[in-house]
Chains A and B, each alone.
Chain A
Amino acid sequence: MAVVMTNAESGATEPAPAGAGLNQQSAQATGPAPGLDRRHGIIRRYFLIFATLVSGSLAASLFVELAFRFEEAQQTLETTHRQMAELAALRIQNYVGDIADALRIAAPPRSLNNGRLTNDYLFNLRTLLKNAPAVRDVFAVGLDGREQYRESRIAASIPDTAADHSHEPFFTAARAGETYYGPVSFPRDSLEPRIVISVPIEPFAGEVAGVLAAEVNVRYVWDVVQNIHIGKSGYAYVVSNDGTLIAHPELHLVLQHKDLSDLPQVAQLRNADSGEAGTGQFTSLSGERVLVAYQRIPSIGWTVLVEQPLMEAYAPVLLSLGRIAGILLALFVLAVVAVVRLRRRVVKPIEALRQGAGRLESGDLDARLHLKTGDEFEDLAEDFNRMAARLQEAHAGLEQKVAERTQALEQSLDEVKALSDTLQTVGASLDLQNVLQTIVVHATEISGSDGGVIYEFDEAAQVFRFRAGHLLRPEFVTRLVAEPPTLIDSIIGRAAVLGEPQNIPDTAAAASPPTNTPVLAEGYRSTLAIPMIRSKRVLGGIVLGRKSAGGYSAKEIELLRTFANGCTIAIEHARLFYEVGQKNQALQLANQHKSQFLANMSHELRTPMNAILGFTDLMLDGIYGDLDPRLKKPVDQLQMNGQHLLRLINDVLDLSKIEAGRLDLDLAEYNVDEIVEALQATAYPLAQAKGLAFRVSAGGRIGNCYGDSKRIYQILLNLTGNAIKFTRHGGINVAVEPSNGDVHYMVRDTGVGIPPEELGSIFEEFGRGDPAIAKEFAGTGLGLTIAKRFVSMHGGRIWAESTFNVGSTFHVVVPRRVTASSLMDATVTTARKQ
């Protein structure tokens, strides 16, 4: 695997980049570039994860395995040891038991003589000696405890008849009918341990005739112990009840009659709870830690102990532990090697690629990679090299293009700026002259012309009028104004007629039209005329000139067309605006006249009304004597209709005053209670006269208010008056309550109601709804309109809710304190309505 970075052009032609390349190469050779370490994060992380996984799983399995194995091994060991001990114990017991059995077999006398054993009995004893080689002496004891017969393997068999055994344990136990095993003794005449075994002599079952005892050499136990080998250095030994060593592979210990009762494993046997058999860890006689298994031989009270040094016992376990640890280590090393190889195969090429990309990024387009990995990385490196080569090519062409585009862009920018300025002027200024001047200046300058003119077409005279110019001599302007171009004899005329821009590259070369002469005289060689046409109407045109021949490019013509469009729009706007202004003025005047007329009319009507009502009143008041009863009704009608007419006049006057803007609110501090009281004073008698209930309720404290209390009173009086008027039975309820800084008035009645389809138009002039109802309930039809205007003037709201034939509720909400802003809003709203 070869990972080398070289400079593609590291030849002698370009020493500087080659040097740079070499430097990088050497830097790479000595070690990773600075800043690479932090990039190693991913590999390091993967390595760590990998290593943790491998070693973690290995360690886990190891520990589990070890724990189980250790447990198992321990159990196996203990079992083995115990079995050993058990086996030895069994053998010893059998051996001793066999002798006891032999004794029992030999015990019954062949004949009894007066309750005493006959000499024949000796035969029994001799047979026994023959059959049981371990028996050294055998002797029979009579019931009196006196020895009667004795047969010895080594000495002459002279019964020690004098010996009284009656108090010895072997006699008393056997006399009682039990087999007796005596304690170990080491007689002076022999090195070998000896025990006494005695059985009862029972000629008949249950009838003890004497005791047969034998001194038994238990040297056989030595053989048993000698034959037990556990592992390399495991051994067994036997101790008696009192801890005396009976058998041990090291014979000299036995011969020393070693008392082992202080040895912990022997000492613990004295504990009642140590049981028949068991295992444990103790220190051996030689001071080694040993695994001990023991088994008691209950009949003779001995214990077989099997010991093996711990180190030796657990050697196989330790060995398997070592093996597993070795495997782990091997696997770990393998993992490390794998990661290192992976790093070499993957990371190094990636590093090389990254470095190459870094060089490209920093502008070193000569960077090339030489990866000979023979895998995808090599392909990638080749792709990289191709890409770098393309970049290099592209880069070379780019600079030139950038220069070109920059120039184009600057020009476009100028154009856009000029256009934007123009459009801004067109949009912002209604001064046509200003707009046209701006356009001609921009159009002339952006096209690099030496002069420009904007004409407006005079339809009446059929000539182009000079409107604005730029870079023109005053004399030339004077001439253009004095001799306006026509449709026929000029270049702009031709452009307008054809509806296309006219581009004359060389005015001198063009023979016609004749207007070219003055243009030429001014020194203009190239001329461009752009017509301004809107809806097939010629509005004017732009003419530009250059003092050099060559004409205008298609792109320039396109741009200038845009300027011409701007002019067209501006001219049209200006015309429209002028017309709208004219119409608006006329409308305003007409409206003013109407209002003035209405005001005058209503005023003029008052004088005759005064006379009509005045005389009627005087007649009804009896000023002219008692009224003829026949006249009473017509005069009443006269008065009623006169008053209706007067209300109508008053309402019309109010409305015309509002519309003429001549009615102002009379703003002052006021108190809602006063308004309500006044309302009650006026409306209560009216309601009572119709037999209607009238109730006023105020909810919550409403502080001092600011507004036109007279108008508010007028609104409420109107609504209440209507309520009374349109209610045949039931009652009227006027409620006032504060509501978020506003005062909310409600006038509720149980009257005829308003059909839903008319609810929307009741606030309009003469929008009185159903004519049939209107006829019954006389009114001017202007009350609600005026009320609404007054509410609006306060910056408030008025609306109605109604259920036909059930009743209506009129709501009025006015600000508690009228402010300049609420009045302003009101003005705007009112103005929009008109």
Chain B
Amino acid sequence: MSVRILHVEDNAANRMIVRDLLEFQGYEVVEVFDGEEALAAAERERPDLILMDIQLPRISGLEATRRIKARPDLRSIPIVAVTSFALSGDDQKASAAGCDAYIAKPYRPRDLLQIVQKLLAAKQN
């Protein structure tokens, strides 16, 4: 069974990059466009990992993360916060909301991949 990754992102170009990158690596990528959909998709798809953009329409990525992490059945899914806010304190906010990792835009695709691989490996163990 292939590894499934949920990518929450409203920008099409960025979704495309992540899809191209992760699928090339053999992961299955599920995409949603906003925070609200993210929760539903997490319930429905039960992904192995979630890449969560923070600036999203309707509810923010942080709020979505909080909701997912509030769910006992979903809590174990690692969430990587992806943000274009580079202001100091963003990483703390992400971590406070329950994110397991944090990466700022613009990121190098291989860096993102590294984080994803690391988290998946940790989860398997």
Interface of chain A, helix or strand or loop or mixed?
helix
CB distance from B10 to the nearest CB of A (A): 9
Asked whether A666 lies within 8 Å of B88 as measured between CB atoms, the reply is: yes
A608, B105: Cα distance in complex, Å: 10
A233, B9: Cα distance in complex, Å: 160
Q: A390 on the interface (CB 8 Å rule)?
A: no
Q: A621 on the interface (CB 8 Å rule)?
A: yes
A181, B108: Cα distance in complex, Å: 161
What chain A residues lie within 8 Å of B88 (beta carbons)?
663-664, 666
Residue among B11, B17, B24, B85 making CB contact with A615, cutoff 8 Å: B17
Given the known inter-chain contacts A607-B11, A608-B13, A611-B17, please indicate yes or no for A617 contacting B109, CB distance below 8 A: yes
Given the known inter-chain contacts A657-B87, A666-B88, please indicate yes or no for A623 contacting B21, CB distance below 8 A: yes
Q: A185 on the interface (CB 8 Å rule)?
A: no
Q: Contact string, A649-678, partner B, CB cutoff 8 A, digits 1/0?
A: 010010001000011101000000000000
A664, B14: Cα distance in complex, Å: 31
Q: A646 on the interface (CB 8 Å rule)?
A: yes
Asked whether A607 lies within 8 Å of B20 as measured between CB atoms, the reply is: no
Q: Which residues of chain B in 16-45 are interfacial with respect to chain A, using CB atoms and an 8 Å cutoff?
A: 16-17, 20-21, 24
CB distance from A642 to the nearest CB of B (A): 8
Given the known inter-chain contacts A623-B20, A623-B21, A624-B20, please indicate yes or no for A610 contacting B85, CB distance below 8 A: no
A662, B107: Cα distance in complex, Å: 24
Q: B72 on the interface (CB 8 Å rule)?
A: no
Asked whether B20 lies within 8 Å of A653 as measured between CB atoms, the reply is: no
Asked whether B105 lies within 8 Å of A609 as measured between CB atoms, the reply is: yes
Q: Contact string, B87-125, partner A, CB cutoff 8 A, digits 1/0?
A: 110000000000000000111111000000000000000
The residue in chain B whose Cβ has the minimal distance to the Cβ of A642 is B106
Q: B76 on the interface (CB 8 Å rule)?
A: no
Asked whether B14 lies within 8 Å of A603 as measured between CB atoms, the reply is: no
Q: A2 on the interface (CB 8 Å rule)?
A: no
CB distance from A597 to the nearest CB of B (A): 15
Q: A289 on the interface (CB 8 Å rule)?
A: no
Asked whether B24 lies within 8 Å of A623 as measured between CB atoms, the reply is: yes
What chain B residues lie within 8 Å of A611 (beta carbons)?
11, 13-14, 16-17
CB distance from A26 to the nearest CB of B (A): 103
Q: A614 on the interface (CB 8 Å rule)?
A: yes
What chain B residues lie within 8 Å of A617 (beta carbons)?
108-110
Asked whether B108 lies within 8 Å of A607 as measured between CB atoms, the reply is: no
Asked whether B86 lies within 8 Å of A618 as measured between CB atoms, the reply is: no
Given the known inter-chain contacts A618-B21, A623-B20, please indicate yes or no for A607 contacting B84, CB distance below 8 A: yes
Q: A613 on the interface (CB 8 Å rule)?
A: yes
Q: A606 on the interface (CB 8 Å rule)?
A: yes
Asked whether B86 lies within 8 Å of A606 as measured between CB atoms, the reply is: yes
Given the known inter-chain contacts A663-B88, A666-B88, please indicate yes or no for A606 contacting B106, CB distance below 8 A: yes
Asked whether A618 lies within 8 Å of B106 as measured between CB atoms, the reply is: no
Given the known inter-chain contacts A607-B14, A663-B88, A666-B88, please indicate yes or no for A618 contacting B105, CB distance below 8 A: no
Q: A614-B21, A623-B24, A624-B20 are in contact. List 18 more A-B contacts (CB 8 A).
A: A603-B85, A607-B105, A608-B13, A610-B14, A610-B17, A610-B105, A611-B13, A611-B14, A611-B16, A614-B14, A615-B16, A623-B21, A623-B109, A650-B86, A657-B87, A662-B87, A664-B88, A666-B88
Q: List 9 A-B contacts (CB under 8 A).
A: A606-B86, A610-B13, A614-B13, A615-B13, A617-B108, A623-B24, A623-B109, A624-B20, A664-B88
Q: Which 6 A-B pairs have the closest CB atoms?
A: A611-B13, A610-B106, A614-B17, A606-B84, A610-B105, A609-B106
